[in-house]
Amino acid sequence: MSLTLAQQASGDSSVATFNVSGLPSAAIVTKVVVDANSGLTYGGTGAIVSNRVHIKNNSMDNYISVPWGSLNKTEISAGVIGQPAVGTWSIYYNGTNVSTLVGSSWKNMLLQN
Amino acid sequence: MRFPTISNDTLKLLGVENKLTSITMPSFSGINSMSTKSAPAMSEEKYKEAIIAQAKKDFENGKFGGHENASYRTLKKSFVSVVSPDRKGSIAQMLRQLPFMQLGNVSYLEVKDAKGNITSTYSPHNGWHAIGTREERNRESEFNTIYTEAWRALKAEAQQQVKPTSSSIDTFI
């Protein structure tokens, strides 16, 4: 999921998808944890602060949106508990380039599950 | 110095094309459309019966919810959208308020409800996304609970029926 922003701008990253399979068909979600500590890379002239994580599976209409967790670890329970686990999941994040330096900054998050 | 305004059509004729996509309304009809407030299609009691009937039908067909399951998704959308915000109205209103020349220059938009909660976002690379409200999350959770309990009860019943008992074993002499 990559995000490039001009100074002081906010925006959404690209959407990454992943498949959950190999579970019993009636498996349901109890909790989702997004741990971004090992997958983040930065570049450019600024600094992007992540604001929120958005996630849904392909049988849900709306994204669940939660604040980015402290130490880059976000736990999501409300809205995902009880959802069918099997299927394709989509995830992206929202950030703000807090730098006052002219130029753009980018942030990339590698998806590993 | 005053610079003349050049329209996108003129720029195209000059071979200069504006690569930015003009922002348009998302779709609000069909199974993959964005959720917006709708009137209930039936009473709460009938909804519960319909969800249990859907679970029964899916169990008999070896399914559990799913993206490809059109009747499941239609019922879920109908059930949840009763509490959805009026995304159609709020997005239309916001687009009307945007100056025409900015329609093709939007890099990010957030639409919020009266409480300040984000209900939808737009970015040129992702398009429109609906962000579920607390009411929608609770309503979807209620749907999932009724559906999953009914589905699992059917599975337990089916497993009970296939357990071999001494009286069900045929013996041949």
Is the entire prediction scored with pTM above 0.90? no
**What token pair was written down for A21?**
């399979």
pLDDT at B15 over 70: no
Cα–Cα distance measured from residue A74 to residue A71, given in angstroms and rounded to the nearest whole number: 8
The sign of the torsion formed by the CA atoms of B93, B94, B95, B100 equals positive
User: In whole angstroms, how far apart are CA A4 and each of A109, B47, B89, B160?
Assistant: 12, 45, 30, 56
Residue B81 has phi, psi (to 5 degrees) of: -65, -10
Four-residue CA torsion sign, A83, A84, A89, A90: negative
CA of B145, closest CA in chain A: separation in Å? Answer: 7
Element (H, E) at A65: strand A64-67
What is the ipTM metric for this complex?
0.83
Average pLDDT of span A96-109: 77
**Backbone torsions φ then ψ of A42, nearest 5 degrees:** -130, 160
In this predicted structure, what is the pLDDT of residue B6?
A: 44
Of B73, B125, B131, the CB nearest to A65: B131
- How far is CA A108 from its chain centroid? 11
> Which residues in chain A have Cβ-Cβ distances shorter than 8 Å to B63?
25
Asked if A59 lies within 8 A of B65 by C-beta distance, the reply is yes
* pLDDT one-digit tens code per residue, A14-67: 999 999 999 988 899 998 998 887 777 777 777 888 899 999 999 899 999 999
Structure tokens at A89: 């999941």
- Which has the higher per-residue pLDDT, A1 or B94? B94
Q: What is the mean pLDDT of residues B113-130?
A: 91
Given 2.40.390, 3.40.50, 2.60.120, 3.10.450, which CATH number is that of A2-109?
Answer: 2.60.120
Q: Quick one: CA dihedral A74, A80, A86, A87, positive or negative? A: negative
